[in-house]
Chains A and B, each alone.
Chain A
Amino acid sequence: MKDVCISENSCQKQSCGLCCTKIKNFGVTLGSTVILDDINLHIHCGELTAIIGPNGAGKSTLIKALLGEIPHTGTLEYVQAQKDTFQAPVMGYVPQNLNLDSTSPTSVLDLFLSCRSSFPAWLIRRKKEVENVKEKLAAVNAQHLIDRRLGALSGGELQRVLLALALDPVPDLLLLDEPVSGIDQNGMEMFYQTVSSLRRDYDLTIILVSHDLDMVRRYADRVVLLNRTVLKAGSPDEVLQSQAFYDTFSLRWQKQNNTGGDKD
């Protein structure tokens, strides 16, 4: 695996629309439990693919398997139009949450610096690097958060900061694991707008685990309904109006409409 942290390669890529990511026969088994089975997806770059599914469907597991963190069967192929060779895509990842406790004295700047360079973030802060971090944060409207502690950020702010981090350097494949709760509606809207403009600006392949079906309908190019395996994949309308979707979510919809809250 290459050390993407140190690389300064953040130049904008030319849009091609021809590179693609193929997920072939993906499966994950933990102990005797089959968590994912026979996942086949073909994703073009410049597309925002949303993964939806009930709790425990294996959405986060799929992301972690794609990252190579969890052992899996099957292959992930990334093909670029200009190059004939297969190469491992540069991954950007926005985790669901952080392991840090909220009192941790880790500022946004600390996190960026420790990812960008090998100079210890507690001792050396080069001006050029700090300016660069400000620019990256500005791209997601978060430049004012640079000196805040990670634990003091709201859910939406943290998500934007982590998004900026995942884009530094610009990845081939951007994997986003959306938190189940804790983000206000405004933050959500801002996040989806940012992600959605990214795919055009950088020609990224974006895979987004989402819990907000309304946002998915408005922003995703393609939707994958997952529950251990791919139940349905296609355009948002195709998937959200399918029988498979109705079978998976009908109870949930009713519950939500009755109580008017608690999406998951």
Chain B
Amino acid sequence: MDFWYKLVEILPFEWAKAGQMVFMKNALLAIILLTPIFALLGTMVVNNSMSFFSDALGHGAFTGVAIGGLLGFVQPLSSAVIFSVVFAFLIALIKHKSKMASDTVIGVFSSTAVALGIFLATLGGKNFAKLNTYLIGDILSITPKEISLLAVVLVFVVVFWFLVFNKLLIVSVNSSLAGSRGIYTFWYEVVFSCALAVIVTVSMSWIGLLVLNSFLVLPAASARNIARNQRQYHFLAVAFSIFAGIAGLIMSYYIETATGSTIVIILAIIFFITYGLRKKFA
């Protein structure tokens, strides 16, 4: 971390000076690690029309936190991860087994999860306010230890993306075609859903449940407007995501707003600009 602090001192900002505003420097590094993770996974979320699904995962993670709190975990994160992975698996399984439209299945799970989460969190007349941090998120509260966890997650996601991307792409093109090439469609979907669940849960307390899904969907949706192949799609999504992340963090410092939502607003502006340009690139 010392190396990072030295590096940031080069920046021409007041908070970047040596020994000042350590939380901003931590947050900056966290953003640089987090945004590419979301951008990479987001490309496939949008490819597979799963944005509603990833939204539901956040709700599942929230319930996980509430359950963790109830069982008396000091750090409810571990219970939340377990719960949301189980949650993601269940949705994938029922989507696969039943003929119901997938948005109905997701809707059922998602609203049940939120209700259960609030129910458990307020059980016995407890105050809900302490869970607000999960709804809004606070990237400035991130600690160096959590940042190293993020770095590990980033490495995992990149390796994961190397291993499964091709298969996931074929599945998204046509699942029968994937099947004819010996790809176990269902299991690839499960693995992807679970990876998504872990990321969403881990980052919930920093980004906030309410805007988290935008981190997945907006960079990919913007890149999609102007990309013509998977390579451009990935690089643009990651670039938009990192740019909006850094710009949003710095802006939120000066205009004193919640970081997560500031980033999302910048992402949204990028989306509408690329949307306007899409015909030029079609």
Contact = CB atoms under 8 A, between A and B. Distances in A.
A121 B168 CA distance: 11
Given A120-B161, A165-B177, 4 more contacts: A5-B182, A92-B180, A120-B165, A120-B166
**Interface range for B:** 20 to 34
Nearest to A116: B166
Given A1-B182, A115-B170, A118-B166, A95 B176 contact: yes
Interface stretch (A48-56, A104-112, A241-249): A104-112
Contacts of B179: 67-69
Contacts of A189: none
A212 interface: no
A103 to B, nearest CB: 6
Interface of B: 47, 49, 161-163, 165-167, 169-170, 172-177, 179-183, 223-224, 227-234, 282
A67 B180 contact: yes
Contact of B229 (A69, A106, A175): A106
From A4, A104, A122, residue with most partner B Cβ within 10 Å: A122
Contact of A175 (B49, B167, B180): B180
Interface in A106-153: 106-107, 109-111, 113-115, 117-123, 125, 147, 149-150, 152
B227 A115 contact: no
Contacts of B166: 5, 113-115, 117-121
A2 interface: yes
Contact of A103 (B163, B169, B174, B224): B224
Contacts of A99: 172-175
A45 to B, nearest CB: 18
Contacts of A98: 173-174
Interface residues of A, number: 45
Nearest to B180: A93
B181 A115 contact: yes
